[in-house]
Amino acid sequence: MSFNRIYALGLRHLYLIMNSFPRVLDLIYWPTVQIFLWGFISKFFTINSNYYSDTVGVILTAAILYDFLFRASISFNMMFLEEIWSRNFTNLFIAPIKVSEIITSLTITAILRTLIGLVPAVLIAIPLFGVSVLSLGLPLLFLLVALYLFGVSLGLLVTSGLLRFGPSFENIAWASLFFLAPLGCIYYPIEILPSSLQIVAKGLPLVHIFEEMRNILVVGEVVYQNIFKSIIISIIYFLIGILIFYTSYFGAKKRGTLMNMGE
């Protein structure tokens, strides 16, 4: 792998952000709106619900973590879509950058986009609602790693779809996370789901991440076994994502869709 090539592709997306103040605002705007919305809902539940009276910030913390996942995935997709929209796709794929370097660069750059959007929202939540995700302590770092890997895995699956089906797959890019959200048990315990769906949900890292988050905030205990289970499941999805991406890439070369993608 060449650091210079990975850096070059990352720089392309960094310049894109730096050249446009509205783009930075757009990155910050949506997570902030989410925090405000869930902050007020959370405050309402805290006042009016016995269940939440001792667990201030559970919903808001869940909203912040879910948004982290959402931003990570969308950031990955967006960077790929940018190449299609700008009709730069062919230039990228005839440059001597390896597919593994493209994946590495997008994975690293996606975290930057995610943090630009989320850090201001997280900081706003502290004085406004008295909630800080940092109260999760060290486990937060591991939970974020699991979320990030899963977010990028979803990004890889969506970009594989873009390679396979072309720009028409774009709508799926936006819908992908909403599809999984009900099974992720982000705002409610897994027991709420019907038993058949619980089996499916346990195959996702989200259930383990958000169950553990609630465990830390409500019970005050950390079960590292659950956290590492979520990381391992995320790594498995990440590897599957890479495999599917390569399959789609070679399929696209066979179908000739890499040439003139975006027209």
Contact positions toward other proteins, by CB under 8 A? 2, 4-5, 7-9, 11-12, 15-16, 19-20, 82-83, 86-91, 93-98, 250, 253-256, 258-260, 263
Q: What angle do CA 171, 174, 176 make, to 5 degrees?
A: 100
Which of 41/112 has CB closer to other proteins?
A: 112
Based on CB atoms, which residue is closest to other proteins, 41 or 258?
258
* In the complex, least distance from residue 238 CB atom to other proteins, rounded to whole angstroms: 23
Q: Which is nearer to other proteins, 60 or 79 (CB)?
A: 79
Residue linked to tokens 């405050």: 43
Report whether 261 contacts 89 (CB < 8 A). yes
Q: How far is the CB of 167 from other proteins (least distance, A)?
A: 15
CB nearer to other proteins: give 49 or 260. Answer: 260
Measured CA angle at 70 (ends 220, 81), to 5 deg: 160
Q: Give the separation between CA 215 and CA 2, rounded to whole angstroms.
A: 42
State the nearest-atom distance from the C-beta of 84 to other proteins, in Å. 11
Instruction: Name the phi and psi angles at 259, rounded to 5.
Output: -80, 125
Minimum separation from the CB atom of position 18 to other proteins (A): 9
Q: Round to whole Å and give the CA distance between 212 and 229.
A: 11
Site of tokens 């720009």: 167
**Residue matched to tokens 């590492």:** 228
Write down the least CB distance from residue 242 to other proteins, Å: 17
Q: Which is nearer to other proteins, 40 or 250 (CB)?
A: 250
